[in-house]
Amino acid sequence: MSDKVRHVVCPYCGCLCDDILVELDEGKITGVENACTLGAHKFLSDSENRLKGPIMRDGSGWKDISYEDAIDYVVDLLSKADRPILYGWSGCATETQAIGAHLAELIGGVIDSTTSVCHGPSILAIQEVGHPGCTLGQVKNRADTIIYWGSNPIEAHPRHLSRYTNYADAYFFHNAFRERQVIVVDTRKTPSTEIATEFVLVKPGGDYHVLSALRAILRGRADVVPDIVAGVAKPQLIRIVEICKKTNFGAMFFGVGITMTGGKYKNIRNAIEFVDELNRYTKWTISPMRGHSNVYGSNEVFTWISGYPYAVDYSRGIAFYNPGETTVVDILARGEADAALIMASDPGAHFPRICSENLAKIPTILFDPYPSVTTHLCTLQIPSAVNGIDAAGTAYRMDGIPIRTHKFLDNTGYPTDTTLLKQIYDRIREAKENA
């Protein structure tokens, strides 16, 4: 029997588009409307990509095991580990993330999310100088100038432009598309630079210099700015400052293009302070382009529970936070961890080589519905239901708005990661209380 499900929330990226229409036939996804290429692939390829059940490394091969045996293994491993890391979480619902944070405290582990390898530096900058941000609804209806800095939304957040910026209808404009302008700052040409009204090509590693030059010009000290700053001609810098000052409502979005490069959080701090100074002339906001569907949620949840947004170390019995030391990349690079629980993420594909090498040396449990690069490195993989397809939960959009995802597929047979993690937490807690 065919069916159409409306208002589905896409669980791919931080845009959390909530206008997806999914067509079902005999319980299978056969069509998707409104989603971008990334989201459509997520829905349409879901069933064929899923792992059928838990798998465990068996010498030089793999064997199937039951969920019961898999959970027994996890409980035993995490109970005995001295320096366990609990990493990932950005594809999990906040309900699962909360259990994860409590589990980390229970076993004296380190809990970190994919934040540390995407917008961790943005959080460090926000902790230094604050966050003059706003919701995407404000940007959609009011922003007449948009800056994408170190971000390629057409490939990474394909509907950001059509839902919230350049191509979106706006309450306060007659013809939003004609009245908005988009400035793209990047170190290379991308599909996003093609749609820019102003493209600023910065030499790699030069973002901090360009931001400093813009701030100097804004403060009336164009005289101290050299003719070319990191490949950008001074007249273009002056023009950009003028555009920004004449704007009624400006919104800057920045991507990992400036969180990962030299300067890290100092780049973001400089960008925030540029926006801060622009507010002496007109209204400007700045926000990170968060990648995973619920990476923002992990920061919220960990902060409610521990006081810190990521990289929280409970080994002292209290929450301790020191990015650079308690971030999972650093712990793995130092070869410190003796067990790993990886939740819905793929460090094998996205961590430096030394981290993958050390992950392969320790017992590693991977919760992921799909085989990934980390599958080759792990000891045990447990597939669970996918949040937004056959599981429901809360996720935070990139602007901090909580959105409830929907479960629209029944009877897939997969347990949710919330249920499995709760079982693990309860059993370890019970064992500790009875010890």
**Applying CB under 8 A, which residues contact another protein?**
37-38, 41-42, 45-46, 49, 55, 57, 60-62, 116-117, 120-121, 124, 152, 155-156, 158, 187-190, 204-205, 256-257, 259-262, 264-265, 311, 323-325, 327, 329-330, 332-333, 346, 348-357, 360-361, 369-373, 375-377, 381
Q: Which residue type occupies 369?
A: P
Tell the smallest beta-carbon distance from residue 386 to another protein (Å). 9
Q: From CA 213, how far away is CA 241, in angstroms rounded?
A: 10
Nearest of 310, 324, 356 to residue 110 by alpha carbon: 310
Side-chain-side CA neighbours of 42 within 13 Å: the count stands at: 23
Nearer of residues 87 and 274 to another protein, judged by Cβ: 87
Distance from first CA to last CA of the chain, Å, rounded?
53
Nearer of residues 45 and 248 to another protein, judged by Cβ: 45
Side-chain-side CA neighbours of 242 within 13 Å: the count stands at: 8
Tell the smallest beta-carbon distance from residue 284 to another protein (Å). 26
Neighbours of 160 (CB within 10 A): 28
Nearer of residues 307 and 324 to another protein, judged by Cβ: 324
Report helix, strand or coil for 228: strand
Tell the smallest beta-carbon distance from residue 191 to another protein (Å). 8
Say if residues 365 and 74 touch (Cβ distance below 8 Å).
Answer: yes
Q: From CA 56, how far away is CA 253, in angstroms rounded?
A: 42
φ, ψ dihedrals at 329, nearest 5°: -60, -45
Q: From CA 130, how far away is CA 139, in angstroms rounded?
A: 19
Burial bucket for residue 355 (CB in 10 Å: 0-12, 13-18, 19+): buried
Nearer of residues 231 and 415 to another protein, judged by Cβ: 231
φ, ψ dihedrals at 227, nearest 5°: -65, -35
Q: From CA 419, how far away is CA 27, in angstroms rounded?
A: 23
Tell the smallest beta-carbon distance from residue 408 to another protein (Å). 17
Nearest of 306, 295, 309, 301 to residue 399 by alpha carbon: 295
Tell the smallest beta-carbon distance from residue 83 to another protein (Å). 17
Tell the smallest beta-carbon distance from residue 382 to another protein (Å). 14
Nearer of residues 303 and 423 to another protein, judged by Cβ: 303
Q: From CA 290, how far away is CA 275, in angstroms rounded?
A: 19
- CA dihedral over 323, 326, 328, 333, signed as positive or negative: positive
Nearer of residues 75 and 311 to another protein, judged by Cβ: 311
Q: List, in sequence order, the alpha helices (H) in 59-119.
A: 67-80, 94-107
Nearer of residues 73 and 265 to another protein, judged by Cβ: 265
Side-chain-side CA neighbours of 362 within 13 Å: the count stands at: 26
Nearer of residues 358 and 394 to another protein, judged by Cβ: 358
Q: From CA 234, how far away is CA 223, in angstroms rounded?
A: 10
Nearer of residues 69 and 155 to another protein, judged by Cβ: 155
Residues facing residue 343 across a β-bridge: 88, 367
Tell the smallest beta-carbon distance from residue 1 to another protein (Å). 26
CA distances from 226 to 154, 212, 216 (A): 33, 12, 11
Tell the smallest beta-carbon distance from residue 314 to another protein (Å). 17
Tell the smallest beta-carbon distance from residue 204 to another protein (Å). 6
Tell the smallest beta-carbon distance from residue 265 to another protein (Å). 6
Nearer of residues 42 and 406 to another protein, judged by Cβ: 42
Tell the smallest beta-carbon distance from residue 128 to another protein (Å). 12
Nearer of residues 176 and 328 to another protein, judged by Cβ: 328
